[in-house]
Structure 1
């Protein structure tokens, strides 16, 4: 996980939407004065998915949505163990 992990989770939680990676990056740039770079956002997605904090949904392109475990993590109710 990296500096984009929490902002990604917060964005997906607040939006209640399934979003593609470029849209996640775009919205973080609009929302945060010190937004993570596109590369940092893309690198954060796999570990978030591996920890089951987000899930990829199918279709023509990959979209990501927060899971119940991801919401619990944001609320301090779930601890990630490496």
Structure 2
């Protein structure tokens, strides 16, 4: 997990709704759109977020992602690429 991953998950957790990658990057200081685009597939593969095809790219946090944020799930328990 990276600092960007944590920031993305925190934003999605606070938002409580599905939002597009552009809005994610816009609302997180020092996290660029390319970083968001690169990290979201990894977070999805780890089961921390759910991405939608329609509307394309919209993303929301999953229950597993909420458990990670609350500390009930450790980063070492996740299989996520750097």
Q: How does the TM-score come out when normalised to structure 2?
A: 0.83
Query: What is the count of residue pairs matched by the alignment?
Result: 77
Find the aligned partners of 1:7 and 1:20 in 2 and give their Cα distance: 15
The answer on whether the counterparts of 1:9 and 1:74 sit within 8 Å (CA) in structure 2 is: yes
User: Where has structure 1 moved over 6 Å in runs of 4 or more?
Assistant: none
SS in 2 for 1:55: strand
1:76 paired residue number: 71
Find the aligned partners of 2:55 and 2:72 in 1 and give their Cα distance: 34
Structure 1 stretches of 5 or more lacking a match?
Answer: none
Structure 2 stretches of 5 or more lacking a match?
Answer: none
1:12-69 CA deviation, whole Å, 9 max, x = no partner? 00011101111111111xxx3xx12221111110110000000012313221000000
Cα-Cα RMSD: 1.4
Find the aligned partners of 2:12 and 2:55 in 1 and give their Cα distance: 20
Find the aligned partners of 1:4 and 1:59 in 2 and give their Cα distance: 25
